[in-house]
Amino acid sequence: MPEIAFVKPAMPKHGALVLPIAEDGVAAGLHAALDQASGGAITRALEAASFKGRKGQSATIWAPVEGISRVVAIGLGKAGEINAEAAEAAGGATYALVAKERDATVAAEGLPAPLAAAFALGLQLKSYRFDRYRTTEKEDDKPKLEKVVFATDAATACKNAWAPLRAIAEGVFITRDLVSEPPNVLHPVEMAERCKPLEKLGLTIEILGPKEMKKLGFGAFLGVAQGSPVEPRMVVMQWMGASGSGTATAKKKPAQKPVAFIGKGVTFDTGGISIKPAGGMEDMKWDMAGAGTVIGLMAALAGRKAKVDAVGLVGLVENMPSGTAQRPGDVVKTASGQTVEVINTDAEGRLVLCDVMHYAQERFDPRFMVDLATLTGAIIIALGHEHAGMFSNDDTLAQQLAAAGKPVGEAVWRMPLGEAYDKQLKSEIADMKNVGGRPGGSITAAQFIQRFVNKGRPWAHLDIAGVAWSSKDLPTAPKGATAFGVRLLDRLVADHYEG
């Protein structure tokens, strides 16, 4: 993650110079000064490259004057249409073009502070790399960028706009790191331990093991865990930003009901006895992406000192086949008292969520709940990799989520719920089955979860199976873990639930 700084404009003496240029924009500031110093070479080079400043355009000019190794022109699009998302995309594109430099300067005089900060965010998000297990990579193949300076006459305003975005970027990186880790390293116990350092941000962290969960009646959750020799964990994270200092204490009463975020954390999912096909099973290391998102979100909220009381709960478990594993046909009793006939042990995420969600409601009485899970392959068939599936019992919360996702590029699409789907969960021997058949699989999964939402409690379920991992580069994320949901939910809180 390169260091970001905002300073008064001055021509750099070395490194790269980045020129963000609007469509048909006029050279000014450092752009004009460099053009003059180079005898008009910048203008001539951009004309030769047919660079017009269109969105997505870029051009590189090598060593136009002494000291500056390259000049990178980045198109911003039409001046009246430049928003934060466009600035972020331009920042992401910039990183790829200057990554081999030690330092770079962005001529940001023409960008208002919010857009300059958004440009910096896009650049930083695109800089993510997960390379801790690479031992033979050549030095020349590694990025070298250490610092990016934004030259602006509004340095103080830019710093103020950047501070919360920096905390959000760090939350995103936490999530991407967790989702990228191999499953032999990041098992439930290890993932829970990695939450502890977040206490330095002011979060209160509690870790519950199988003994505590057994006392709480987590029969569904523990049923998933019983096939693995690695113990399950539940992590409870609290941030009390509306009640004074963020740290929760026994004597401190919340200023308001907290908002609650719950994440599915299956650190590896074989499917259990209902075992998955071998092809692609290695991808199931990121079946804990919902939990990873909640952890990164809580870090972001604490990092930017959000004025909200929030709780994040993650259920961490490994779904493995063994002689002690849960069997198809087993009946488990959930913490809510409802019983479930387990038809398919590969439909395990909902069994984890139902107990954690019940606990969240009983202990915290939240204003609303949002759960995140890489829950079904069916949602990928329905929506591809462009949208997360959103299910909700509350129109207001659903509208807020959809609106929050648009400016940060994390789109959700509302899916239906209804009694006809709910009937597919009918069991002959228990209160419900854990699957409702192939038709509408993502919907019946959401219907299952909804059975554990208390009456009158606003709730939304985000099925992120299609968007938690990308097989191609995205504007502000290299291929791999996306951390989808961190920025969406942070924006939800910022827009509607702070103060």
HSE (side-chain half, CA atoms, 13 Å) at 78: 2
Nearest alpha-carbon partner for 265 in 300, 226, 225? 225
DSSP string computed for 60-90: EEE--STTEEEEEEEE---GGG--HHHHHHH
Burial of 25 (0-12, 13-18, 19+ CB in 10 A): middle
Q: Where are the alpha helices (DSSP H) in 264-367?
A: 289-303, 349-364
Could you say which of 100, 276, 307, 457 is catalytic?
Answer: 276
| φ, ψ (nearest 5 deg) of residue 97 | -90, -15
Contact by Cβ (8 Å): 224, 239: no
CA distance 53 to 266: 45
**Active-site residue identified among 159, 350, 433, 487:** 350
State yes or no: is 451 an active-site residue. Answer: no
CA atoms of 308 and 327, how far apart (whole Å):
42
Contact criterion met (CB below 8 Å) for 440 and 416: no
Is 215 a catalytic site residue?
no
Q: List CB contacts of 431: < 8 A, sequence separation 6 or more.
A: 338, 339, 340
Which uninterrupted H or E stretch holds 121?
helix 113-126
Put residue 207 in one of left, alpha, beta given phi > 0 → left and psi -120 to 50 → alpha.
beta
The percent of the chain in helix, strand and coil, each rounded to the nearest 5, is 35, 20, 40
Q: Among 206, 259, 260, which Cα is nearest to 233's?
A: 206
8 A C-beta contact, residue 56 and residue 75: yes
Residue closest to 303 by CA, chosen among 169, 403, 412: 169
- Do the beta carbons of residue 350 and residue 266 sit within 8 Å? no
Distance CA 117, CA 91 (A): 10
Catalytic residues: 276, 350
